[in-house]
Amino acid sequence: MPVVRCTRCQTPYPQNETPYLCPKCGGVFDFDTPPVFDSQRVDRCCTGLWRYRSAFSLPANAPIISLGEGDTPLIPWMDKGDPVWLKLESLNPTGSYKDRGSAVLLSHLAARGVEEAVEDSSGNAGASFAAYAARAGVKARVFVPEAASGPKRGQIEAYGATLVRVPGPRSAAAAAVLQEVQHGAVYGSHAYLPFGLEGIATLAYELFEQLGQAPGTVIAPVGHGGLLVGVMRGFQALMNAHVIDHLPFFVGVQARACAPAWFASQHGIEAMDQVQEGSTIAEGVRVQHPVRAAAILDLFDRQSGKMVAIDEADIMPAYQELARGGVHVEPTSALVWAAYRQLREQMVNSGMIPGPIVLILSGAGLKYQSQIS
Ligand SMILES: [Zn+2]
């Protein structure tokens, strides 16, 4: 079974406490191997994410915390005669893929007896955390940037969480929550705590079941990087179990206005600190210090993949194009459509982007306060 360890000093995650960083060296915790997938142990009686419980490294006493996440539709979208597959993660219970991580994370926290936790988010993770905390009976306080969209803020409060609006950029909300943590609050961070990554890996298992094969290419937005890391590990788990015989080509997408992981892929992980947090309509990926950027680059070294940055001017046209085809997602999700457009030109020229191509549409458009009406 995978073990959670400090990525710097290899110390295993403590049995009783819930630190968000390694108490010994300040390193980030992560699983030391991909999940262990066994198709014989998939619970066919169960629907959604929890049918893969055997692939989660949860203690035996961990409760199932579920709101019906997973089993999202995969629909074909014809583009100049070629099908592109859209994975509608926007149709998860709180409207984003984050629910896959939250279900497993809250199960983990509940198993440790956590009764109250703080979280910070640009919106989607906060809403998801609030909902699953409510389901798990955990009292939640969620810190968001003051500029986070109104529907996301309202959603967090509707689930009964205490909403704390922090003036300034996304990083200011992160700094504010850390002050609470220094005063003893449990940080139920979707970004730092790795437990939810095994929930996100179920995207890979589902995609295999829906397509009947591994995709040729998977394109996903990158904020902290948990979505892409989770999916890449999920496919690695399928490879390790000999369920598939090749890995997809992975594409991570950021908004150029705030693209630290893209910059690091070009100039090395040490260069990431040079990147500024510019303003972007793709608020879900406005993350100046992605916790999983190093993991993404490490996976790119061992699997095949690349980062792409999208100009701000290309985001709204992608949003509108999807919406006018009946698929209303938030601008952050439209990044992947813009990236597909960019890559398709390269594909025509070089044939380097193999099919079937899957775009992961991470969040619902109803969360977005439309500026085009
Ligand atoms: Zn350490």
**What's the burial of 179, exposed, middle or buried (CB within 10 Å: 0-12/13-18/19+)?**
exposed
Ligand 1 geometric centre to CA of 27 (Å): 5
Q: What is the mean pLDDT of residues 175-185?
A: 94
Tokens of 359: 């775009």
Residue 20 alpha carbon to ligand 1 centre in Å: 11
- How many whole angstroms separate alpha carbon 333 and alpha carbon 310? 12
Q: How far is the CA of 25 from the centre of ligand 1 (A)?
A: 4
Question: d(Cα 10, Cα 195) in Å, to the nearest integer?
Answer: 16
One-letter amino acid of 232: M
Of 141-155, 241-255, 281-295, 350-364, which has the strongest mean pLDDT? 241-255
Q: 181 C-alpha vs ligand 1 centroid, how far in Å?
A: 18
CA distance 231 to 22: 24
Tokens in use for 232? 């890449």
Percent of the chain having pLDDT more than 90? 79
- What protein residues have CB closer than 5 angstroms to ion ligand 1? 6, 8-9, 11, 22, 24-25, 27
Q: 308 with 238: CB under 8 angstroms?
A: no
Å from CA of 12 to ligand 1 middle:
9
Please check the confidence at residue 117 and state whether its pLDDT lies above 70.
Answer: yes
**Nearest to residue 156, comparing CAs of 126, 196, 190, 125?**
126
Q: Work out the percent of the chain whose per-residue pLDDT is above 70.
A: 97
371: pLDDT strictly greater than 90: no
> Tens digit of pLDDT for each residue in 208-264?
999 999 999 999 999 999 999 999 999 999 999 999 999 999 999 999 999 999 999
Task: Compute the distance from residue 333 Cα to the ligand 1 centre, in Å.
Answer: 34
Mean pLDDT in residue range 151-162: 91
* Mean pLDDT of the chain, nearest integer: 93
Tell how far the Cα of 97 is from the centroid of ligand 1, in angstroms.
29
pLDDT one-digit tens code per residue, 2-56: 999 999 999 999 998 899 999 999 999 999 999 999 999 999 888 899 999 999 9
In this predicted structure, what is the pLDDT of residue 210? 97
| 29 CA distance to ligand 1 middle (Å) | 8
Give pLDDT, residue 291. Answer: 93
pLDDT value at residue 285: 85
Which structure tokens are listed for 328? 């209303």
Gap from CA of 13 to ligand 1 centroid (Å): 9
How remote is the CA of residue 109 from the centroid of ligand 1, in Å?
21
Report pTM: 0.95
Residue 170 CA to ligand 1 center (angstroms) comes to 26
Cα of 30 from ligand 1 centre, angstroms: 11
For residue 254, the CA-to-ligand 1 centroid distance in Å is 29
